[in-house]
A and B are shown apart, each in its own frame.
Chain A
Amino acid sequence: MSKKQGGDKVTRYIVIGMVIFIVAVGVIFSFVSSASKAAPYPSIVSKSDGYGVVFNGDLKGVPTVDLWEDFQCPICARFEETNGAYMQKLITEKKAKIVFHLLSFIGPESILAANAAACAADEGKFLQFHSYLYANQSPAENTGKWSTEGLVSAGSQVGLTSDNFKKCVTDGTYGQWVKNVADDGASKNINSTPTVFRDGKALNRDTEYFDPAAFAKAVEG
């Protein structure tokens, strides 16, 4: 074997070693960063409901509606437009237990928006903020509309003006909680937003999501 060829083999192993190192670090980083960890969440959130934001959690004998959604998802905005007022009515009239699961598939601004919604929950204005974000959704994803500044100003539109709220949004206080929700959705095979369950049974996406009468019938039985 010539000396040159030996040198080339060394190059091969060094390069392969470096590439394997990059892959290993990347995989480990991704696993660690997307895994569930103990983290603070608002008092309205229930860990046993998959870290969801729960309304009427103490009611007995009413159906449970689980809604999996993403603040940047246009179909979720359409769902909110169709059924948002009805869902709020279910909550205020104590006709159902509603669990909001804030997923963040669509990227960084979905994470920031979900965090901000948890901050709004701390101030008792989750539902108002939730409606506002959908009513004012950007037509394109991750364009800066739900940057932390955008979310703080969205909050001020529904009366969220406290320094606590601003700090919570800006600091990403509930960032790890958002990851925990995503991890729970992954383990429950949620592959699309919105996804709606009534008492653990998935509603029919084609017939029951965007027909208010069919949705009400599916929920109230």
Chain B
Amino acid sequence: MKKYQPWVGLVFRLIVGGVLVFAGYLKAFNPSKAKMAVRAYEALPIPVANILGVALPWIEIGAGLLLILGVAVRYTSIFSGALMLLFIVAIGQAWARGLSIDCGCFGGGGQVEAKDTKYVQEIVRDFGLGLMSLYLFRYPTSRFALEREKVAHE
């Protein structure tokens, strides 16, 4: 198991980092849609939701880049884990309150018809990415990281 750990770490880094960069990229260049996606959760005051809608895609891109490059993995992975927890809570509260929205994770977002909601898939996906983040937090050393292993352990 120990032998495979750095390779597992590499795969998880690329999956979590790749998903974050991809998801951020899909939203970053349509700010009005991204703002709308955050507003549709009905969890934040409108001006705050609009600011978050603009900033979040770029924050995802930044965290994803650090994971892919393998720099400060311990900090970045706890951040991405916290982000996934936040997404799960946000989606869960929308579901529990009976809102019909798309999570807007990969662009899109906003109100959809009740039959088109995908809350279970969205939460399972974020939960999986969250678990991978936790693994990287616990075992931050991995193959092909830009940063040498000793530093990642600090």
Contacts and interface: CB of A to CB of B under 8 A. Distances in A.
Interface stretch (B24-32, B84-92, B131-139): B24-32
Interface in B1-54: 28, 30-33, 35-36, 39-40, 46-47, 50, 54
Interface residues of B, number: 31
B62 A15 contact: no
B58 A183 contact: no
B61 interface: yes
Nearest to B27: A30
Contact of B28 (A30, A186, A192): A30
B66 A107 contact: no
A45 B36 CA distance: 23
Given A16-B72, A19-B65, A31-B54, A105 B39 contact: no
Contact of B35 (A107, A179, A186): A186
Given A103-B32, A185-B32, A192-B110, A23 B61 contact: yes
A195 to B, nearest CB: 9
B39 A27 contact: no
A23 B147 contact: no
Contact of B46 (A12, A22, A179, A189): A189
Interface string A1-37: 0001100110110011001101100110011011000
B83 interface: no
Contacts of A207: none
A115 interface: no
A191 interface: yes
Interface residues of A, number: 33
Contact of B66 (A16, A182, A190, A191): A16
B78 interface: no
B148 A107 contact: no
Interface in B67-120: 69, 71-72, 110-111
A105 B151 contact: no
A143 interface: no
A219 B20 CA distance: 45
Contacts of B148: 4-5, 8
6 contacts: A12-B151, A15-B71, A26-B61, A107-B33, A187-B47, A192-B111
